[in-house]
Structure 1
Amino acid sequence: MTTDFTSIPLVHTIPGAADIAVERHHYATEHGPLGFDLYRPHQQNTSAPVVVFVSGLPDPGVVALLGKPLKDWASYVGWARMVAATGIAGVTYLNREPGDVVALVQHLRDHAGQLGLDPARIAIWACSGNVPTALGLLARERFSCAALLYGYMLDLDGATAVADAARQYHFAVPPVGLDDLPRDVPLLLVRAGRDVTPGLDVTLRRFAVAARARGLPVTVLDHLEAPHAFDLVDDSPATRDAIEQVLAFLRRELL
């Protein structure tokens, strides 16, 4: 039997997350409108900060292979609801290609007043093969912070592990180098110590060392006993603590 990763819920949630409702909206791209979902905090009286959950995969391919786009996976819904339960809006979205996220972010900034969002407090969250797209976004747009979980990073010093994985798993790798990243945007890197995804752990560790050497504000959260996608598959106290630490990082930088 094949595991349906699209329907696996997170192993941890927080009070109030299940009660968060979703609003359906659209943003414009050069190839026509696409949908996005806004998970709004309860009792919002002012413009809310927002976390965008970044996808590095084209949704047409994801749907053809797995039946539903990333924004509708149980884990993405779970993260967006948890973020909203902490007082931060969550946004998940459809794309035709990973680069559509640039148009989404611009839409959120341009329509922040109508949406009840604060355009000066936008963060990004990404995991696994979606992280290179998030890094590309960091290189061209201004954000308050980024949480990057068990992800492929950048190929450094002639390495090809990320490019090799991208060909295998079909995720996007924008042409971005370490020097293109801002030096004043806090980055949280969450490392799964038992991640055996080919080439991933070495790229994450190399990135952390090189980023710190260049003065980027990088924090590494080592979940030493965790496998890849631990938030879906490792129901343990350490995983619950790691999820809470990600939420605490976002609260600290955005609220």
Structure 2
Amino acid sequence: MLSIEEILKKEIVYKIDNMENVNVKKNMIYKEELLMDLYTPFAHGKSEKLPVVILIHGEAAAINFKESGQYISYGKLIAASGLNAVTFNHKVLSDGFSIKEVIDDIDALVNYLIENADNLNIDKDKIAIWSFSGGVPFGLYEGMHDCSNYIKCNIAYYGFGDLTSVKKLLNFNIQDEDVTKYSPISLIDENSSKIPPLFIARAGLDNSIINESIDKFIMKALKNNLTIDICNHSTGGHAFDLFNDNDRTREIITETLNFLKRNLK
């Protein structure tokens, strides 16, 4: 079994040319002492504002996620694919913070990018959210709760469609009223005509509580006729993009990049 240190060093199994030839502006303060990194394509014109993909990390206490191999390699992959990428650290439930505090950090990051779009050379009207694992309910919520014109699509990898399941599996001491209020599945009926396109990737061999949560979210999304792409990795476990080095993993990540390009064009 790998140690936490070894897991944090692992990069995604998918690679393309020129991933090392990207620009990275590191440790920008977006809120108080919280930091973000901006990955940009190496050769794009200075006057051209490109879309931006925000990568939302999962749950673990006292981890500098944006410096992990997973998020560094995703930042490079997205930039090498011709888009901007942002990795950042936000508060987590694992450190005892509330659901609202986590959401406030993500809101602050999105607002920072919008307000500083000219200085950062990004197209504020073409934002995508790509979230992972325990970060998925927060990423989905961010793209669904106000349905602004800024966020054009929302990607969720092997994560929860509701916060009830988060509480059940991870035993967090979070308030029931917050679980109900901020669960993304509860927003489908409310905002179904305005929710931007969704891409959901599930790991077939993942924890049953996680997959039941994903499946309920998918079924409700289909019932409400949302635009949704679904990829199942039948032999993949949690974090298949790190641990399942096979064709299906590469297919899913390729489809994800194509989804981004279609919706951010």
**TM category, shorter:** 0.7 to 0.9
The answer for the alignment partner of 1:34 in structure 2 is 34
Q: Tell me which moved more, 108-117 or 238-247.
A: 238-247
Would you say 1:150 and 2:158 are equivalent positions? yes
Identify unmatched segments of 5+ residues in structure 1: none
Whole-Å separation in 1 of the counterparts to 2:43 and 2:147: 29
Would you say 1:110 and 2:115 are equivalent positions? yes
Whole-Å separation in 1 of the counterparts to 2:58 and 2:205: 23
CA contact (8 A) 1:23 1:37 kept: yes
The answer for the alignment partner of 1:54 in structure 2 is 56
Would you say 1:192 and 2:203 are equivalent positions? yes
CA contact (8 A) 1:27 1:103 kept: no
Deviation at 1:3, TM superposition (A): 2.4
What TM-score, normalized by structure 2, do the two folds share?
A: 0.83
The answer for the alignment partner of 2:171 in structure 1 is 167
The answer for the alignment partner of 2:136 in structure 1 is 131
The answer for the alignment partner of 2:74 in structure 1 is 79
Would you say 1:211 and 2:221 are equivalent positions? yes
Identify unmatched segments of 5+ residues in structure 2: 92-100
Deviation at 1:180, TM superposition (A): 4.2
Would you say 1:239 and 2:244 are equivalent positions? no
Q: Tell me which moved more, 44-53 or 180-189.
A: 180-189
The answer for the alignment partner of 2:102 in structure 1 is 98
CA contact (8 A) 1:161 1:199 kept: yes
Q: Tell me the C-alpha RMSD between the 2 structures.
A: 2.2
Whole-Å separation in 1 of the counterparts to 2:170 and 2:147: 23
Same amino acid, percent of matched pairs: 29
Q: Give SS of 1:216's match.
A: coil
Aligned residues: 240
Whole-Å separation in 2 of the counterparts to 1:111 and 1:166: 36
CA contact (8 A) 1:9 1:232 kept: yes
CA contact (8 A) 1:144 1:253 kept: yes
Q: Give SS of 1:125's match.
A: strand
| Residues 1:86 and 1:2: Cα distance change in structure 2 (over 3 Å) | closer
What TM-score, normalized by structure 1, do the two folds share?
A: 0.86
